Amino acid sequence: MADDFDIGGRSLASRLLIGSALYPSPAIMEQSIRASGAEIVTVSLRREAADGQAGAAFWSIVRDLGVSVLPNTAGCRTVREAVATAEMARELFETNWIKLEVIGDDYSLQPDVFGLVEAAAELVKRGFTVFPYCTEDLVVAKRLVEAGCSILMPWGAPIGTGKGLINPYALGQLRHAFPDIPLIVDAGIGTPSHAMQAMELGYDGVLLNTAVAKAADPVGMASAFKAAVAGGRLAHLAGRMPERDLARPSTPVIGTPFWHQAD
């Protein structure tokens, strides 16, 4: 049974999104992305000239991969800066997709949720498909949807920490509140089991970077995440068994013979 991933007006097979930063080399980045099976790759706006040597080499790899590019506004701390960066990214990368980040705290890299909602509303007006990097807060999510976001990307944990899903209850509440909106866990994923947990919660996808790029074997870890995301999705569709407070034998006891010791 087909289970395509419909997001941003496109239908994809892979539910794993992957970043393009921090790899030991461009060659390992390319091999890792291929091994992951990801069809969406996040990229930061390059401040160097578009025809610069480093930028040209990077784009050559991305074009050869044949993936959809998701530019981001990483490092932006104001609404004005985020909107301007998004406009430059649209021109450079030739896409209306934008992963919107408006950072409010330098230590945790937690989003400035007030600025995030304001920037999202402005970018939607300008014709962008906004992928907002947000917290797992339900009210913030509602405000982003009201602003016109058709996708939500709550964090699992602060960026780069690898701590996994620190608040699975709240993430589950978001899934329940927005059954028809694509939800992607973005940030904090450290191991394939974290990604599988997110998918088992019913999330539509997982976005990660550091967990693969900084692994001892990035290519092998990318393959592991590919399998974990696929397995977690299958588990969600299959439907888990209900939890119970008391033990219940898996082997029926009806008809089991009993022996009584003679006095």
DSSP states of 88-117? HHHHHHT-SEEEE--B--TTT--B-HHHHH
In a domain, 156, yes or no: yes
Sign of CA dihedral 36, 39, 42, 43: positive
The answer to whether 211 and 17 have CB atoms below 8 angstroms apart is: no
Identify the burial level of 185 via C-beta atoms within 10 angstroms of its C-beta, where 0-12 means exposed, 13-18 middle and 19 or more buried.
buried
What pLDDT does 234 receive?
96
Q: What is the pLDDT of residue 211?
A: 97
User: Is 8 a known ligand-binding residue?
Assistant: no
**73 marked as part of a ligand binding site:** no
Q: How distant is the alpha carbon of residue 127 from its chain centre?
A: 22
Global pTM value: 0.88
Q: Which two tokens stand for residue 22?
A: 């921090």
Q: Is 23 contained in some domain?
A: yes
- pLDDT at res. 59: 77
Q: Is residue 154 domain-resident?
A: yes
Predicted local distance difference test score (pLDDT) of residue 92: 87
User: For residue 244, is it within any domain?
Assistant: no
Is 210 annotated among the ligand-binding residues? yes
Q: What is the CATH number of the domain that holds 113?
A: 3.20.20.70
CA distance 164 to 136: 13
161 is in an annotated binding site: no
Domain presence at residue 173: yes
> Tens place of pLDDT for every residue, the chain, 263 residues?
457 889 998 999 999 999 999 999 999 999 999 999 999 999 987 543 444 566 677 778 888 899 999 999 998 999 999 999 999 999 988 999 999 999 998 888 899 999 999 999 999 999 999 999 999 999 999 999 999 999 999 999 999 999 999 999 999 999 999 999 999 999 999 999 999 999 999 999 999 999 999 999 999 999 999 999 999 999 999 998 888 888 887 777 666 665 666 65
- 167 annotated binding-site participant: no
Per the annotation, the verdict on 214 as an active-site residue is: no
Whether 121 maps to a domain, the answer reads yes
Residue 248 is assigned to a structural domain of this protein = no
Cα separation of 230 and 213, whole Å? Answer: 20
Residue at 104 is within a domain:
yes
The residue annotated as part of the active site, out of 99, 125, 163, 226, is 99
Helices marked H in the chain:
26-36, 53-65, 79-93, 113-125, 138-146, 168-177, 192-200, 210-213, 218-238
pLDDT score of 1:
44
Domain of 174 in residue numbering reads as 12-238
pLDDT of residue 244: 85
d(CA 233, CA 205): 9
Counting the structural domains of the chain, the total is: 1
